Amino acid sequence: MKNTYWLIGPDNTFVQVEGAARRDQITSDGWTETTEPTGADEVWMRHEVTGVYSLMRAGALDAWQGRGWQYAVPPTRRTEQGVIVALPESVQQPQSAVADTPDVTTPQAEEPPASDEKEKPRGR
């Protein structure tokens, strides 16, 4: 049985890999070994049937694994700026992933209207 490792990329996304050889290969592309992600940390996943890659919040991974999503390292390519994730343009996060994942951000309060935008009293 191979050891499992968590890595964090330059863009603060996470991947899980099996085996020291795979870990070493990925770390040579700028990833760093780290601890397991939690909460809203984003983890790369791939659907076993469709082949679609997606970033999913660590706090919701158990539910998604039951729906065919598995840990995956996204495809990358080398550029002058370094190694970047290179997904096909057609690959997007499934809408259900957005809807089923709890939002952990705090909504901002609405700004009051500017003084010239305030509703004027109606004439009698």
Beta-carbon contacts of residue 44 (< 8 Å; ≥ 6 apart):
13, 14, 15, 53, 54, 55, 71, 72, 73, 74
Is 46 a member of any domain?
Answer: yes
Beta bridge partner(s), residue 93 = none
pLDDT at 106 over 50: no
* Mean pLDDT, residues 12-20 taken together: 94
Domain membership of residue 116 (yes or no) is no
Residue 94 sits in which domain range? 4-100
User: Is residue 58 one of the residues assigned to a domain?
Assistant: yes
Report residue 16's pLDDT band, with 50, 70 and 90 as the boundaries.
Answer: very high
The reply to whether 76 falls in a domain is: yes
Confirm if 9 and 17 have CB atoms less than 8 A apart: no
Q: What is the pLDDT of residues 44-99, one digit of tens each?
A: 999 999 988 999 999 999 888 889 999 998 887 777 766 667 766 654 555 445 44
* More confidently predicted of 54 and 106: 54
Asked if 58 and 64 count as a contact pair (C-beta separation under 8 A), the reply is: no
pTM of the model: 0.66
Would you say residue 66 lies in a domain? Answer: yes
Angstrom CA distances, 19 to 24, 44, 57, 86, 117, stand at 9, 17, 23, 23, 61
The answer on pLDDT for 105 being more than 50 is no
The residue ranking higher by pLDDT, 42 or 94, is 42
